[in-house]
């Protein structure tokens, strides 16, 4: 996973890519886990081009998001990255019970 940009003071928006996966595939896999993100050119084509990518995934956090929800996003991304198949798609995982933060269920 690559977090895009290196601001001194990061705001509550983070854009990233997952090596070997199209941004839209990552967004769909996150959506299936109950996590809403945006994906694609993010209306920032010049910025993305300067970083050497065409598409990215963007997660936006707001006042009411919890640390547990941010941790769940990271855990889910790591799980998705581990399930990359040879054709750039995400293999399905057998369900391991609902591990989402309580407020997200």
Residue of higher predicted confidence among 59 and 1: 59
Tokens standing for residue 54: 């065409």
Q: pTM of the full predicted structure?
A: 0.77
CB 57 within 8 A of CB 76: no
Helices (H) and strands (E) in the chain, counts: 3, 4
The percent of residues above 90 in pLDDT, for the chain, comes to: 56
Fold of 2-93: 3.90.1150
Q: Assign 99 a pLDDT band (cuts: 50, 70, 90).
A: low
Q: Say what the pLDDT of residue 19 is.
A: 87
3-44 pLDDT tens trace: 898 877 778 899 999 988 999 999 999 999 999 999 999 998
The residue among 71, 85, 72 whose CA lies nearest residue 33 is 72
């Amino acid at each position: 996973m690559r977090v895009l940009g290196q601001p001194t003071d990061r705001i509550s928006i983070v854009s990233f890519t997952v090596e070997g996966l199209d941004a839209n595939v990552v967004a769909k896999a996150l959506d299936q886990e109950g996590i809403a993100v945006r994906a694609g050119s993010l209306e920032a084509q010049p910025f993305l081009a300067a970083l050497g990518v065409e598409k990215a995934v963007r997660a936006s956090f707001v006042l009411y998001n919890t640390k547990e929800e941010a941790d769940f996003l990271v855990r889910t991304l790591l799980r998705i990255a581990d399930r990359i198949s040879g054709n750039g798609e995400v293999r399905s995982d057998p369900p391991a019970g609902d591990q989402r933060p309580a407020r997200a269920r």
